[in-house]
Structures are given as structure tokens and as C-alpha cells.
Amino acid sequence: MADMTSPVPSAPLLDVRDLGIAFRSGAGMVQVTRDVTFAIAPGETVGLVGESGCGKTVTGLALMGLLPSATSHITGSVQLEGENLIGMPARQLQRRRGAKISMIFQEPMSALDPVFTIGQQISETLRAHRSVSAKEARERGIEALARVGIPEPALRFDAYPHQLSGGMRQRAMIAIAIVCEPRLLIADEPTTALDVTVQAQIVDVLGDLCARLGMAMLFITHDLGLVAQTCSRLVTMYAGEVIEQGRIDDMLVRPRHPYTSGLLRSLPALAARKTKLPAIPGRVPMRGEMPDGCRFRPRCDFALPPCEAPQPLDPVPPVGQVRCCRNDELELKGVLS
């Protein structure tokens, strides 16, 4: 699979190949993801979706080099602007994290330090990566707060996290992440803890930042509606593997993997009112009891004997890929069918 053609035509900003993550568990290792391969072009927004336990968040953490090396084993490569982040010495990685690649999380309250002001936390990032004076750091911090739509940024700069509402905290966290103008922002369920109207505001801010800074974004979520609204490409993960990827608008209408199709069809917003929703039977298999061959096979309505063999990622013209041997013959339902 190493020679597989990249789905992104231009030189990718981020190129993830065969990323495998294993955690130490008791005596042995448990493989959490394997062969995760995808790329992100400069300025591109890519959605990473899947149900809980599919490996979305650990993939994000691995890209940032945030998994503890003592208990995790990472294989494959993560190239950011041509440099492999996997196996990079900690000090070098530190220089890239926050400057070139940043991450925001679901719960801003647990990601912000309650005993420091918002301003101190922004300045800390800025001064770690750029040689700026305290005065300059303050100016640029206030500018970052203004950029994420915080009213009265000069006042909020000196506020503590508890003095802000949930939506404002998430904005503050985004401000910290983007103050050094990174090339890539990893957003892990950044709006899940927020109300829908606040979510709409945050999504707006993120889209605006990507456009203005030319920043790429990996948007990790379980909400396909959000991906449709924010991303141009979609990567679906299931049980630790990438099972499909492609242009979002193609995949919504014509998914190639039965799991992607199942996720789309189970959305209540798109079904006729009061009708039975097409659910996906069963559950994501537990780590350590992964089925052979296609991992979705036990829950799949279309499984046949060939599905018991390992499934490669097949190309779907023009830019997609799918891990299903029946992808050519199946006419799977999308959001419009």
C-alpha cells in the first residue's frame, strides 16, 4: 500500500501512511488502529468520522505526538511538510507543536488551566515559539482573541477561564491554538459540549480562520451534518481502520462503504417523520476480538464469503478510496435515496 497514489493532487501538507497505534495492555499489546492512510492538502478541511471506539481521537493524538511513549507503540509515518513526526526527538517535536500543528479538544474547561488567565496561556504558547517581548505577546494575544470573535478582547485577555461561558472558553482555546498561525489545526469534537446556536458560531469562526490564514483543518466528529457544513473531504473510520474517503458531497450522495451508508441513513433529520430509522445492527467490535477480513462484516447486510479476506483500500475515481470488495457492484443508499 506504500505506493498507493495519494488522493490529494498537490503536495500534501500532511501525509499519514499506514499509521498503526498499539497500546500496552496487561502482558501484551492491543492494536487500536492499523493502516490509517490519508492526506491533507494545504488549506484543506477534512472530516474524520466514525462511532465511539473507532480510533478517531487516538489518531488525532498520534498526529500531535501526544500519546505516551511508554505505553503506546506507533508504526507508519506522519509527514508534516515533508518531515516525519513519528520517532522525531521530543525537543524537535515540541518546536512544531503549537507552531505548525495545533489541536483543540471537546472540553475547553479541562483543556484550559484554571489558575492562569487566558492571556497568560496565549502568551505562553506565543513565547515558546516566537521571540516576542511581553508587550508584543499581549498585543498579538489580544489580536488572536479578536480574531476568534471574543468581544472586548483586551478585557478578556486578563480573565480567568471560569469567568467565561462555555462558548467563549472554546473561542479562547481556539485563540491559543491559532496564535502562532499553524499550518494544520486538529479539532477533536470542538463543539460537542456546546449548544447548537453556539456551535454554529464556533463552526463559523473555524471556517473563517481556515480561509483567512490558509490553515488546514482535520475535524474529528461523529456528526455528519457538521462535516457536511465544514469540510470538503471526508474520511470514515471503523474499528481502527480507514474504510472510506472521498469528496464529502460525493460520499453523502453515493457512499461506497456499507458503514458510511449506514451512518448516513440512521440520521433522523433526513428520514420521513415517525418512520422506522434504518439502524446498523450490532456494535463496534471490542479490541482484541476483531473479526478477520472486513471488520464491518458481522454488522453488514451485504457480507459474502469474499469479505472474510483482508480488504485493501480500493481507489474510487476521481479521488476516493474504499475498503470494501463489493464496492463496484453495490448501489448503496446515501442521504438522498
Binding site for other proteins (CB under 8 A): 51-52, 165-168, 195-201, 203-204, 222-229, 248-249, 252-253, 262-264, 266-271, 273-274, 276-281, 283, 335-336
Question: Which of 267/330 has CB closer to other proteins?
Answer: 267
b/e sequence 263-290, b meaning 16+ C-beta within 10 Å: bbbeeeeeeeeeeeeeebeeebbebeeb
Spatial distance between the Cα atoms of 117 and 123, rounded to a whole number of angstroms: 10
Spatial distance between the Cα atoms of 14 and 234, rounded to a whole number of angstroms: 15
Closest contact distance (angstroms) between CB of 126 and other proteins is 27
Question: Which of 15/189 has CB closer to other proteins?
Answer: 189
Closest contact distance (angstroms) between CB of 280 and other proteins is 4
Paired sense of beta strands 14-25 and 28-40, if any: antiparallel
Closest contact distance (angstroms) between CB of 174 and other proteins is 16
CA separation, residue 223 to residues 51, 102, 177, 227, 263 (Å): 9, 21, 22, 7, 10
Q: Which residues contact 284 (CB under 8 A, 6 or more apart)?
A: 51, 52, 53, 54, 238, 239
Closest contact distance (angstroms) between CB of 7 and other proteins is 19
Closest contact distance (angstroms) between CB of 253 and other proteins is 6
Paired sense of beta strands 72-80 and 83-84, if any: antiparallel
**Residue 318: is the preceding peptide bond cis (ω within 30°)?**
yes
Closest contact distance (angstroms) between CB of 92 and other proteins is 38
Question: Which of 310/318 has CB closer to other proteins?
Answer: 318
Question: Which of 67/267 has CB closer to other proteins?
Answer: 267
Question: Which of 91/273 has CB closer to other proteins?
Answer: 273
Question: Which of 64/203 has CB closer to other proteins?
Answer: 203
